[in-house]
Structure 1
Amino acid sequence: MPGTSSSPMGEFFDLTATIDGRRQHAVVTEVAASLRSLAVDGVALIQEYPVDARPPYCAGWVLVPWPNRVADGLWTYDGVPQQLECTEPGGANALHGLLTETPYRVTERTPGAITLAAQVRPQAGYPFELETSVRYELAADGIHVSHMVRNTGSQPAPVGLGAHPFLRIGEVPTRDLKLVIDADTHIEIDDRLIPTGTVTDVTGTRHDFRTGQLIRDVDLDDAWADVRRNGDGGSTHYLEAPDGQQVRLHMDGSFGYVQAFTTDQFLTDSGMATAVALEPMTAPADALNSGEGLRWLQPGEEWELSWSIAYQSA
């Protein structure tokens, strides 16, 4: 079962299944192990981009060993300054971890699932060694994504993890979708998108998305904390179409933060389009400095966590 194409993101891997009488299809890329497309019964749930293009705005990437930004790429470990490469276009920040340009290796594959793995090697700014993997498995209503991070080095390693899917609901214009973020507090940021250290109650503010706001009315590159937990300890956030269709992001209990990003400049085969990313995160921006949400893995320790995307018809 070879990849279907070669592109700036390496091989494309098709996943197909029919589960509970419903048809599922997804495409995962070799580079950054990104989720490039997903559909249930022909309804597209991920915003695609041209085959010969790099993912606009980090679409679909796996973000490890930190999501979001590290201010100036600078942090301190055990009293020693650590300088990461500043990779944010137009900004002096280290963006979205260390594996965004890395070709992952396939370790397991079936028609409806794939597991990919990659190593984080000791390097400037991050002197730790990790083994990571991500598994995409089709489900009746979408896809389940599970991650594993293992500290294969000799010293404790700080780890955060996230993902960057751009969600959609078929041909419904994204501007007409309602965004619901089930979280009680908003993380305040400065003009470089770095947290100021202040977290505010969303009640009565423009950042209250608990009952939803239309995408056309907002301009977002924001994160929320204090997500409301479901009975399983996780949380759920979603986009809803005017007819009641939903695409739902469910995060397990390891993910305590969610980021939303909107743009009118997402490159598609037909030109620029409005798009919205809904991003599960275990830690907010600049966590290597604040320590907020970081998981410190001891040598030999393994961390498993998961999230999913599900389609709910009207």
Structure 2
Amino acid sequence: MTFPTGEQYELETSTASGELRATITQVAAGLRSFTVNGIDLVPAFPVDQPHFSGAGIVLVPWPNRIRDGKWSDEGVEYQLAITEPKLGNAIHGLLRYTEYQVLEREREMVTLGATVYPQLGYPFHLRTAVRYELVADGIRVTHFLENLGAEEAPVAVGTHPFVTIGDVPGASLRLQLAAGSHIETDERLLPTAEVPVAGTEWDFREPRGVDAIAFDDAFGEAIVDDDDQVVHSLSAPDGRRVSVKADADFGYVQVYATRAFPGREGDVTLAVEPMTAPAEAFNTGKGVHWLTPGEEWELSWGIHFEGFSE
């Protein structure tokens, strides 16, 4: 059977905390599900449906939005396809509907690859890959990008995981963000300013409830810990925690809340999306990595858990 998100690559392994299972989709190399002992840490959408609201997909070569799909570099103007017609933006990069190919596969790991070919508004040639690997305390995700072209190529990386602790109502979870700034936006969800979170409703440097907040917001000024990681987390009243941990390259995070996630309608479900660059990055330069011809870039993030046991 052919599914809207292509082949489904099932990963599994046994750990001291119990059985870990994950499902990766061929389309967009998305993380469709992740469980520990049957408890959702990534809520799964039905296999006979497309990615719900971008759930789990890879966002390359830019995450988030570009106003009117227009950007320029050294006097050269580019026009990307408008992929968010309602707001008139180019959103979530160029691989959202791409069929990835399997490069490696084992019981607990899969590596998928896709090529970005020169096209409207992005005349650059990239080889990309993403590896998902189950580890003792979660799932590690590593991105690989290589510039195959003859010119420097602007790139940024993001991903769109929804996270939860599946046997706890989302309204009871508390969110903590390692971020010192909040990016204010206009009616098209494009940035107008970046302001410190201190003293504002957007200060989640300490855990806070999320039930009353309509998130579709980006945060910056990532706070890097002693292990050179940026750690955002959701915690349950009983002390269990699920964290999105990312390399310091992921200097931004988007948080999106919905009450329409399939099977969880009415309850709040959060996407916690690590990004190397915010919206409008190709115009502002914030977080953009320029790959020279032949250069490779490798960076990682993951979803990790604490307090779970068999």
State the partner residue of 2:195.
200
Pairing 1:255–2:250 present: yes
Q: Runs ≥4 in structure 1, deviation > 6 angstroms?
A: none
Alpha-carbon distance in 2 for matches of 1:273, 1:187: 26
Pairing 1:66–2:58 present: no
Matched AA of 1:277: A
8 Å CA contact retained: 1:267, 1:273: no
Matched AA of 2:302: S
Pairing 1:88–2:84 present: yes
Matched AA of 2:216: D
- For the residue of structure 2 that corresponds to 1:127, the secondary structure is coil
2:131 to 126, 135, 158: 135
Q: How many residues align?
A: 308
Alpha-carbon distance in 1 for matches of 2:96, 2:218: 21
Greater CA drift, 17-26 or 301-310? 17-26
Pairing 1:296–2:293 present: no
TM-score by length of 1: 0.95
Pairing 1:7–2:20 present: no
Of all paired residues, the percent bearing the same amino acid is 47
Q: CA deviation at 1:54?
A: 1.1
Pairing 1:306–2:278 present: no
Residue-by-residue CA offset, 1:161-209 (whole Å, 9 max, x unaligned): 000000010221111111111211111111111111x211111100001
Structure 1 residues 63 and 273: CA distance shift in structure 2, 3 A = same
What does 1:177-196 correspond to in 2, within 5 Å?
Answer: 177-196=173-192
Stretches of structure 2 that go unaligned for 5 or more consecutive residues are none
State the partner residue of 2:270.
276
Pairing 1:216–2:211 present: yes
C-alpha RMSD over aligned residues:
1.3
Alpha-carbon distance in 2 for matches of 1:273, 1:205: 25
State the partner residue of 1:232.
227
Structure 1 residues 134 and 82: CA distance shift in structure 2, 3 A = same
Q: CA deviation at 1:80?
A: 1.8
2:151 to 136, 149, 155: 155
Q: CA deviation at 1:48?
A: 1.2
8 Å CA contact retained: 1:39, 1:142: no
Alpha-carbon distance in 2 for matches of 1:120, 1:51: 26
State the partner residue of 1:115.
111
Structure 1 residues 220 and 150: CA distance shift in structure 2, 3 A = same
Stretches of structure 1 that go unaligned for 5 or more consecutive residues are none
1:79 to 75, 81, 102: 75
State the partner residue of 1:267.
262
Residue-by-residue CA offset, 1:140-165 (whole Å, 9 max, x unaligned): 11100000000000000000000000
State the partner residue of 1:56.
52
State the partner residue of 2:163.
167
Residue-by-residue CA offset, 1:86-113 (whole Å, 9 max, x unaligned): 1015220001000000000000000000
TM-score by length of 2: 0.96
Matched AA of 1:298: T
8 Å CA contact retained: 2:43, 2:166: no
- For the residue of structure 2 that corresponds to 1:254, the secondary structure is coil
